[in-house]
């Protein structure tokens, strides 16, 4: 199941409608861990500096797009000596399996974005009655 969740990694992001980005900031592909339980597929997406109100998650057909807009945080009266993080935004796109219950997806954030994608219940076999004409 989890191996059926495909990722699309790109460094240069354009808008889905083919337009250009309006923000002049770099866009990073955030690292993600994918776990599978008996009932769910869980995504953990690392987007440092992104507050809860800066997260945008959309699901269109089978495409799950995660975007994070980070706020520049430069403390006053400090001079940066050694930077390891660059200011920018985040975007990651996943193609979901047909076996995901789209209506049951839940998202939360506590330092790391956590998406729980419940597996759809398997279709039960049913008998189809023949109608007399």
Domains for the chain: give ranges and CATH numbers: 2-14+28-75+84-118 (2.60.40.790)
| Digit-coded pLDDT (tens) for 11-56 | 444 444 444 556 678 899 999 999 999 999 999 999 988 888 999 9
Rounded CA-CA distance 23/13 in Å is: 11
| Digit-coded pLDDT (tens) for 84-106 | 777 789 999 999 988 899 899 99
* HEC letters along 104-130: HCEEEECCCEEEEEEECCCCCCCCCCC
- In terms of DSSP bridges, do strands 27-28 and 89-95 run parallel, antiparallel, or are they unpaired? parallel
Q: What is the pLDDT of residue 23?
A: 66
Q: What is the pLDDT of residue 77?
A: 85
Beta bridge partners of 45: 32, 113
- The predicted model scores a pTM of 0.70
């Amino acid at each position: 199941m989890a191996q059926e969740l495909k990722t699309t990694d790109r460094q240069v992001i354009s808008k889905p409608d083919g337009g250009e980005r309006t923000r002049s900031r770099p866009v990073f592909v955030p690292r993600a861990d994918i776990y599978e339980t008996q009932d769910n597929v869980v995504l953990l997406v690392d987007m440092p500096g992104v507050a809860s109100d800066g997260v945008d998650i959309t699901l269109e057909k089978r495409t799950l797009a995660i975007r994070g807009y980070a706020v520049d945080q430069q403390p006053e009266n400090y001079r940066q000596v050694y930077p390891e993080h660059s200011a920018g935004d985040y975007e990651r796109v996943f193609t979901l399996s047909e076996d995901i219950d789209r209506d049951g997806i839940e998202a939360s954030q506590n330092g790391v974005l956590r998406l729980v994608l419940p597996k759809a219940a398997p279709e039960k076999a049913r008998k189809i009655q023949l109608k007399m004409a």
